[in-house]
Homo-oligomer: A and B are copies of this chain.
């Protein structure tokens, strides 16, 4: 009797459909101005029901953020799987794929950047937090594997520390673009892509064999 399994599946579906609704509401109104009542209405549920699936508004945001990480993981994974390019050729692709991501999923990108904001109001023990950290680890691993592949095919210097470089790149992704938002009219001639691409160019010179 698969009742338990079916219920589990249904619970998962409900949970996903709540996140769907939350995305629509949060992306539309912005996190601060969106209310849990809005989300409840959009999800065709009562407010109380939301709290059967998520501990807080912040945790619901973390669930959206997790989706962003999953999207990114998919992107980098398929870059890694592409066997027509050498490691060093894939390197600038990391940048351009990320830029594509920010353009194709601006709201999810935005959610990604709001990590700090929501993270600190969520319990450390939560399942969502744990899997968010896990996804982040996965992404970093994929990036460093791409770098290591370049070392194996001898297009990237072997003395490069793939793990550290991978973290540095991730830092770029979550830093450079916001910095350009921060800078606003600081350097009106440049857009974020210019900066990211230029930075990667410099790094290529430092890591290629």
Contacts and interface: CB of A to CB of B under 8 A. Distances in A.
A interface, over-half SS: helix
Contacts of A172: 168, 171-172, 175-176
A190 B171 contact: no
Interface residues of A, number: 51
Contacts of A119: 182
A125 interface: no
A164 interface: yes
Contacts of A183: 133, 136-137, 140, 167, 170
A191 to B, nearest CB: 11
A187 B175 contact: no
A45 interface: no
Contact of A115 (B133, B182, B194, B196): B182
A165 B169 CA distance: 15
Interface stretch (A8-16, A20-28, A200-208): A200-208
A186 B137 CA distance: 5
12 contacts: A116-B182, A117-B117, A137-B186, A140-B183, A164-B194, A164-B195, A167-B187, A168-B195, A168-B198, A170-B175, A174-B179, A202-B206
